[in-house]
Amino acid sequence: MNAALDRPVLLLGGYGSLGSRIARTLRQLHPQLPLAIAGRSREKAQALASALGNAEVLAVDLKRADLGLAGGDRFSAVVMAVRDRSLNSLRYAQAAGIPYLALSDAPFELGPVVALHAHHARRNAVVLLGHAIGGVPTLAAMYYARDFATVDAIDVGLIFDPDDPFGPMSAIDMEHIAKDGPPPLVLQRGLWRWGAGEKSGRIISGVDGSRHRAEAVGLLDVLSLASIAPHGSLRVDVAQGRTRRKEHSQLPSHEIVIEISGRTWDGKDERRRHELIDYEGHAALSAKGISVVIERVLGLNGGAAPKPGLYFPESLIEPTQLMARLEVWKRVAS
Amino acid sequence: MAHEVSPVLLIGGAGTVGSHAVRILRQLHPHLPLAIGGRNQTRADALAAEVGKAGFVSIDLTRADLGLPKAARYSAVAIFLKDDRLNAMRYAQQHGLPFICLSSSTFEIALEVAQFIHAPRSAPIYLASHWLAGASLMPALLLAQDYQHIDAIHLAVLVDELDLGGPAAHIDYERIIGNAASTLVLKDGEFTWISGDQAKATVVGVDGVAQEANAYAPFDILSLGAATNARNIRLDLVVGESASRRRGEPFSTEIQIRIDGELESGRRARKVLQLVHPVGQAPLTGLGVALAVERLLGLGGQDLVEPGLYMPELLIDPAYYVRRMEEFGAAFTQHKIAG
């Protein structure tokens, strides 16, 4: 039995819109994995913990270096579904020598986490996972990019249904990124730029052909994608619009449109379009992506737990594995 | 056996800051071969002739191979300008060479960090995008050693409006001011992005004259946040008139470091450290790069640095750094104000 199952995963912000979905996904994947749910509302955390089973509720005080946790508490990993501007949560994970997943930080605000990691680089694995949709679109794009010998451009479009809104924490995060951050980061023919200038908006065609006005978004995805196309053009755009429903259902889905252009292995210049839909919506899909990374840092999916270091999701997850696990509707368009 | 080392590639080495780094490196290490990379051969040739054991290398940052011949061999790469393609860093990683860069603002750190994550075991990456590559950070860390608890570290830096550097510095400044919607400070133990009135400040210069300042975020905030237990960290930048110029002398650069907290003795105290470099900002920045090269190549007899992500304080002893600052022209004054 894996030793990771002896100790709970500490989920901060564990009962929120995203956190609770991560907890449920982890429970579904690993009935034996103990979970510790922490947040400001003990009541909400308790309700979720009871529903999950094999889960405890903890009060965490991010203003304290020991997080206010009674001595002897030991976890297998710390997952931050809330923003921690004090970085006490990272110091706690470093002191305990356990993996740490940061889910909120946009490119412009990686500095504090990275510097603190650099100071204690041999203590633990730090995963930077401030990607759109738990890293799923990026890993999917890397998977599809394998059809190409050279990649010239990757355009990722994310279509959020108005009936599938962000949770309050994500909404606050997005507002903070737009207000405090520089314009969204894009790669244009190998040149990094903050803001796409006049081309900051574009039109994305959804799965059903409807056209949506989209805007570039400044998350970590382009940085990850640059590992396979350092001299190409990379951008991620977000649109709001009505997404495809399952037959006889009124529930919104989340659509991901990935367009890749480049030269294929047989020497043809092509542009290929791939579409993914999650009928459970964006938060559920994010939770799937994040849960796969949590499994990986715990060493629960076969491989050994990663060594101390700084990671992006693609440093840890083989895109083929993720694609095989996602139960999403997908198709390749022309 | 320094004479067997391959040259250090200094991209932009003939520029305003780079030329100081070249001269300081030559002074510290007479036998270290230097490759002065850039586009302007005339200036580089003149500098190479002046310092000796150096030569010009044409660099094309738009190319993945930097336009260098396949057979070229270097021992380290330092770049004095912003490389928006990261080709220089990628080149260093592909050849397993220590890499030094110093032109990013805090909000831009992700680019170098991501490129490090893509190839973490290839080379040491030395991030020196601190104020003047470490000239405020290292004295601040030395001063911080006197404290067991720190309430606040305040850095006030002044660059004379006649000392805004060469074209590379100008491009950095425009890019950073143009894109940064806000600035990072540590406030009551939390990293906070501030803008507008919160970012405005007044700084009293070394001669007592007050000037308007704005919060600014070189990597000092990150390093001090990681290295100390300070609850508040802020850097304010004055672009104005230096005290020396007010006296009718040439411009200088000024750095003031103020720390409030509890000393090792348990007493509360405020200590203030002021430093002035009479030639301006470029020599101190150049020194920072020279000391980074020295450390990364182990020229002082230290162990070689393993691949990883580094900032100055992780590799260089602040006391040594400050001693070199004095040796290369910085004048320090310290005041202690018991609280």
Instruction: Provide the residue type at B206 as one letter.
Output: V
Pinpoint the alpha helices (H) of chain B.
18-28, 41-51, 87-94, 109-118, 137-144, 167-179, 220-227, 243-246, 281-296, 312-315, 318-327
Domain holding B78: CATH number? 3.40.50.720
Closest partner CB to A85 (pick from B109, B192, B227): B192
Residues contacting residue B4 through CB under 8 Å, at least 6 positions apart: none
pLDDT given for residue B338 in this prediction: 60
State whether B107 and B201 are in the same domain. Answer: no
Domain with A273 in it: what CATH number? 3.30.360.10
**Are B98 and B196 within one domain?**
no
Chain B residues near residue A190 by CB distance under 8 angstroms: 85, 87
What backbone torsions phi and psi does residue A57 show, to the nearest 5 degrees?
-115, 135
Q: Are residues A25 and A97 in the same domain?
A: yes
**pLDDT tens digits, one per residue of B283-301:** 999 999 999 999 999 999 9
Residue A203: alpha-carbon gap to chain centroid: 24
All residue ranges of chain A with pLDDT < 50 are 334
Same domain assignment for residues A120 and A199:
no
* Nearest CA among B239, B226, B267 for reference residue B164: B239
pTM over 0.80: yes
CA distance A11 to B148: 32
Give yes or no: residues B10 and B118 share one domain.
Answer: yes
- One domain for residues B167 and B276: yes
Whether the CB of B108 is below 8 Å from some CB of chain A: the reply is yes
Task: Answer yes or no: do B38 and B137 share one domain.
Answer: no
Q: Are A275 and A100 in contact (CB under 8 A)?
A: no
Q: For an interface test with A, give the residue of B61, B65, B82, B109 to mutate (most A CBs within 10 A).
A: B109
Q: How far apart are CA B137 and CA B310, in angstroms?
A: 14
B145 and B264 belong to one structural domain:
yes
Q: Residue A78 is part of a domain; what is its CATH number?
A: 3.40.50.720
What residue ranges in A76-147 does DSSP mark as E strands? 77-80, 100-102, 125-128
How many C-beta atoms surround the C-beta of residue A150 within 10 A? 14
Q: How close, in Å, is residue A221 to chain B by CA atoms?
A: 10
Considering the domain architecture, whether residues B55 and B192 belong to the same structural domain is answered as no
pLDDT at B328: 98
Q: How far apart are CA B236 and CA A76, in angstroms?
A: 41
Query: What backbone phi and psi angles, to 5 degrees, belong to A116?
Result: -65, -35
Q: Do A329 and A184 fall into the same domain?
A: yes
| Contact by Cβ (8 Å): A79, A12 | yes
Task: Compute the distance between CA of residue B55 and CA of residue B37 in angstroms, rounded to an integer.
Answer: 8
More confident residue, B202 or B168: B202
Q: Which of residues 280-299 of B touch A (CB under 8 A)?
A: none
CB nearest to A310's CB, from B86, B221, B309: B309
Q: Are residues B50 and B136 in the same domain?
A: no
pLDDT value, residue B175? 83
Smallest CA–CA separation between B278 and chain A, in Å?
32
Domain with A176, as residue range(s), is 133-281+324-333
User: Residue A73: which residues within 8 A CB-CB, separation 6 or more?
Assistant: A58
Kindly state whether B315 is in contact with chain A, defined as any CB-CB distance less than 8 angstroms.
no
Handedness of CA B85, B88, B92, B98 (dihedral sign): negative
Instruction: Note whether A197 contacts B: Cβ–Cβ < 8 A.
Output: no
Residue B70, burial from CB neighbour count under 10 angstroms (0-12, 13-18, 19+):
exposed
> pLDDT tens across B51-68, in order?
999 999 999 999 999 999
- Per the listing, tokens 């999403």 go with A328
Alpha carbons A109 and A280: distance in angstroms, whole number:
30
- In this structure, the answer to whether residues B198 and B267 fall within a common structural domain is yes
Mean pLDDT taken over chain B:
95
Q: Which domain holds residue B158?
A: 132-281+321-338
Same domain, B52 and B41: yes
Residue B31 contacts residue B51 (beta carbons within 8 Å): no
Are residue A28 and residue A167 in the same domain, yes or no?
Answer: no
Residues A161 and A275 in one domain: yes
Residues A12 and A69 in one domain: yes
Do A329 and A272 reside in the same domain of the chain? yes
- Residue B231: both structure tokens together: 């609850």
Please check the confidence at residue B278 and state whether its pLDDT lies above 80.
yes
Cβ-Cβ contacts under 8 Å between A and B: the total is 114
In this structure, the answer to whether residues B102 and B79 fall within a common structural domain is yes
Domains held by chain B: number: 2
Tokens of B334: 């310290």
User: Is there a single domain that holds both residue A190 and residue A256?
Assistant: yes
When pLDDT is cut at 50, 70 and 90, the band that residue B1 belongs to is: very low
Cα–Cα distance for residue pair B17/B82, rounded to 1 Å:
13
CA dihedral A112, A116, A117, A118 (to 10 degrees): 100
Number of domains forming the structure of chain A:
2
CA distance A229 to chain B (A): 12
**CATH code of residue B257:** 3.30.360.10
Buried b (16+ CB within 10 A) or exposed e, B130-156: bbbbbbbbbbbbbbbeebeebbbbbbb
Indicate the residue type of B57. V
DSSP character string of B161-202: TT---SHHHHHHHHHHHHH-SSEEEEETTEEEEE-GGGGEEE
pLDDT at A327: 73
| Cross-strand pairs, A331 | A275
Contact assignment for B219 to A111 by CB distance below 8 Å: yes
Backbone angles phi, psi at B135, to 5 degrees: -70, -20
Tokens linked to B263 = 């000393």
Alpha-carbon distances of A127 from B118, B122, B301, rounded to whole Å: 13, 19, 35
Which pLDDT score is estimated for B152?
98
Chain B residues lying within 8 Å of A224, measured CB to CB: 114
Q: In this complex, do A110 and B180 lie within 8 Å of one another by their Cβ atoms? A: no
Q: Hey, is the C-beta of B117 within 8 angstroms of any chain A C-beta?
A: yes
Q: Distance (Å, rounded) from C-alpha B287 to C-alpha A232?
A: 36
Determine, for residues B308 and A121 on separate chains, whether the beta-carbon distance falls below 8 Å: yes
Question: For residues B11 and B74, is the Cβ–Cβ distance under 8 A?
Answer: no
> For residue A332, which phi and psi values (nearest 5 degrees)?
-100, 125
Measured CA to CA, the distance from residue B29 to residue A18 in angstroms comes to: 56
A195 lies in the same domain as A329? yes
Is residue A249 within 8 Å of residue A243, measured between CB atoms?
A: no
A201 and A328 inside one domain = yes
Q: Is pLDDT at B168 greater than 90 in this prediction? A: no
Whole-angstrom distance, CA of residue A216 vs CA of residue A76: 36
Same domain (yes/no): A7, A121 = yes
Asked if B325 contacts B287 with a C-beta cutoff of 8 angstroms, the reply is: yes
Give the Cβ contact number of residue A165 at 10 Å.
16
Query: Residue B166 pLDDT more than 90?
Result: no
Check whether residue B151 and residue B98 sit in a common domain: no
- Rounded CA separation B163/A237 (Å): 41
What pLDDT score was predicted for residue A332?
63
Give the 3-state secondary structure of residue B243: helix
Over the stretch B107-158, which tens digit does the pLDDT of each residue have?
A: 999 999 999 999 999 999 999 999 999 999 999 999 999 999 999 999 999 9
Cα separation values, B37 from A163, A190, A205, B286, Å: 56, 21, 47, 15
Judgement on whether residues A144 and A62 belong to the same structural domain of the protein: no
CB atoms within 10 A of CB B231: 18
Q: Which one of A61, A88, A90, A114 makes the best mutation probe of the B interface by having the most chain B beta carbons within 10 Å?
A: A114
Residue A181 · residue A109 · CB < 8 Å: yes
| Whole-number pLDDT of residue B182 | 93
Distance of residue B209 Cα from the nearest chain A Cα, in angstroms: 32
Predicted ipTM of the assembly: 0.96
Supply φ then ψ for residue A84, to 5 degrees.
-120, 100
CA distance B94 to B119: 9
